[in-house]
Structure 1
Amino acid sequence: MSSFVAAQRGQPQQKSQPQQRPAEAPAKAADDQTISVNVDLVNILFTVADKKGKFVTNLRKDDFRVFEDEKAQNITNFSSETDLPLTIALLVDTSGSIRDKLKFEQEAAIEFFYSTLQRTKDRALIISFDSGVDLLQDFTDDPEKLADAVRKIRAGGGTSLYDAVYLSVTQKLVGQSGRRIVILITDGDDNSSRVSLTETLEAAQRNDVTIYAISTNSTAYFGSKEQERGDKTLKKFSEETGGKAFFPLKLQDLAGSFLDIHDELRSQYQIGYRPSNARMDGTFRRIRIDLADKRFKPRARTGYYMPKAGATSQK
């Protein structure tokens, strides 16, 4: 697997070697890296939208029911979250297939950082990936530093999508405070990773990371096997973690996808409950949120991993 190589300003960027693995993959030791849950309380961040996709922000606790493994749970905490601190990892596909699209990706990403980040409160980093995975800018609340890193992105070859997500979650986002977000700009293809999609999703779920994906597939590939496979991967990432996948018809629409992500991150709810099944057995627990008003649809992660007895958990 690739390992991070920081590209410091003023220093040449070195490409990481795909065959390297970090010291014992964290996903295999992730029992002590559980997501937004401790022995007593499970917290769920989620979004509600109407049939037109407009966010609904005026609902109350009594409007919701929560189920864990199809058993109703007693909601103990409820709040509307419009200003949570954000911790964002932007992952940009720099494989050869996106060479002609890079300018649009860069412009949209830079505008997103300037419009979204709140100084001293939110932080973001930049990672590029092709056959390797490179940390271009570590966490900062300065949009100008992020913009500088984005402008320096260059296209390469190969695609290590799963490695990039896995490493960003297990080496950078793990243990971070606030809402932990991955934003992917990619066509969804992967031909160089050493970890699997399943391992990558498990790492994201264990660490309470939400993944948003913006597809760079052009209309020239619509209907192709490559495009269908890539779209399926991006939907899987987002649906399993409570995020959303965007498929802009034109490259010029990338900025609109970033704007939608910005709006969603500031239009959410949080529910907390004490699970009726309190066994600390390390199993995956399925979560379902129901709304009394069927005109509206909630979107949340599909579940969480209960800590094992004796493991350290995160609140």
Structure 2
Amino acid sequence: MKKNAFTVFAGDKQQEITYFGEQDLPVSIGILLDTSGSMEYSRKRADLLKDVVAKFVRENNPANEYFVMGFKNKGQLLVDWTKDVDAITGVIKDVPQSFAGTAIFDTCYEAIEKLKQRPNLRRAILLITDGQDTVSQRKNSDLFSMVKQTDVMIYSVRLSNSQTEGLTLSGVSDLDTLSSISGGQMRPINQMNFLPVAAEIFARELRHQYVIGFTPTNLESKWHRVKVKVLPVIIKDSAQSKPVEPLVQTRQGFSLP
């Protein structure tokens, strides 16, 4: 699609697009794996998770860089920045588990701080968890505020299992909010066999994105909602002859200093 198919609004004010690109630029990505006891990692599940992460990395841009963190009651850096698939997946072979609690918010906060130090313009998190934070020092609102102020996309998978079934939906809501604010996605999965599909969708999306830039004008408050409109398109090789409205996925907004 061309630049003139897009219109950007900050609040209710239309903005002039000053940058438009569709390049497959490299991404700095943090892979965050819930290793708390509630995740119920059997050998089979650990092997599947290893294959899924390998597939996610291989289907992404070869120039991407990654780090891996496991987390239970706190985050632990398992692999620092690397492009080596074997190094990334090697730590998943024996997933260290603990029933000490789950610190999703604190770990995401640490991961974003780590991503902010990288030179790549595009940054993202792949978060795989059962979605129940139990011990974080930071509140969900603290993390939401940080995500609003940083350009990090969060792609999350919420895995259901026998220990999390029937629990409050707050964990799902928190993951959905995190991903929506950042312009990423949240996928609830009730079977591990569906995890490869989610990882493939996330990888494909990271490689096929439009990057739109604009200089905000006539804006006063610190937080501004962003809305992107796209002209209807006719899908090639489809029985649908009428133009269809594209589904636009973007960050919810941005903060001004």
| TM-score bucket of the superposed structures, by smaller chain | 0.7 to 0.9
Match of 1:212 among 130, 134, 155: 155
- Which residue does 2:117 correspond to in 1? 175
Instruction: Please give the alpha-carbon distance, in whole angstroms, between the structure 2 residues aligned to 1:131 and 1:225.
Output: 19
- Which residue does 2:75 correspond to in 1? 133
- State the Cα distance separating 1:270 from its structure 2 match: 1.2
Mean CA deviation greater in 238-247 or 143-152: 143-152
Alignment of 1:82-93 (within 5 A): 83-93=24-34
Letter of the 1:284 counterpart: W
The secondary structure found in structure 1 opposite 2:59 is: helix
Structure 2-normalised TM-score?
0.87
- State the Cα distance separating 1:141 from its structure 2 match: 1.1
Structure 1 residue 64 and structure 2 residue 6: aligned?
Answer: yes
- State the Cα distance separating 1:271 from its structure 2 match: 1.2
- State the Cα distance separating 1:155 from its structure 2 match: 1.4
Instruction: Please give the alpha-carbon distance, in whole angstroms, between the structure 2 residues aligned to 1:152 and 1:179.
Output: 30
Structure 1 residue 123 and structure 2 residue 65: aligned?
Answer: yes
- Which residue does 1:231 correspond to in 2? 172
The secondary structure found in structure 1 opposite 2:135 is: coil
User: CA deviation digits over 1:197-233, x for unaligned, max 9?
Assistant: 12112222322000000111138855x243x222111
Letter of the 2:228 counterpart: I
User: CA deviation digits over 1:24-83, x for unaligned, max 9?
Assistant: xxxxxxxxxxxxxxxxxxxxxxxxxxxxxxxxxxx22121111111111111221223x1
Q: Cα distance 1:97–1:126, how it changes in 2: closer, same or farther (>3 A)?
A: same
Structure 1 residue 106 and structure 2 residue 38: aligned?
Answer: no
- State the Cα distance separating 1:117 from its structure 2 match: 5.0
- Which residue does 1:46 correspond to in 2? none
RMSD of aligned residue pairs (Cα, Å): 1.9
The secondary structure found in structure 2 opposite 1:298 is: coil
Q: Which one has more relative contact order, counting CA pairs under 8 Å at least 6 apart?
A: 1
The answer to whether the 8 A contact 1:117-1:141 is kept is no
Structure 1-normalised TM-score?
0.72
Instruction: Please give the alpha-carbon distance, in whole angstroms, between the structure 1 residues aligned to 2:211 and 2:127.
Output: 24
Q: Percent identity between the aligned chains?
A: 27
Matched pairs, number: 241
Instruction: Please give the alpha-carbon distance, in whole angstroms, between the structure 1 residues aligned to 2:59 and 2:85.
Output: 9
The answer to whether the 8 A contact 2:147-2:181 is kept is no
Unmatched 5+ stretches in structure 2:
233-243
Structure 1 residue 240 and structure 2 residue 190: aligned?
Answer: no
Instruction: Please give the alpha-carbon distance, in whole angstroms, between the structure 1 residues aligned to 2:147 and 2:56.
Output: 23
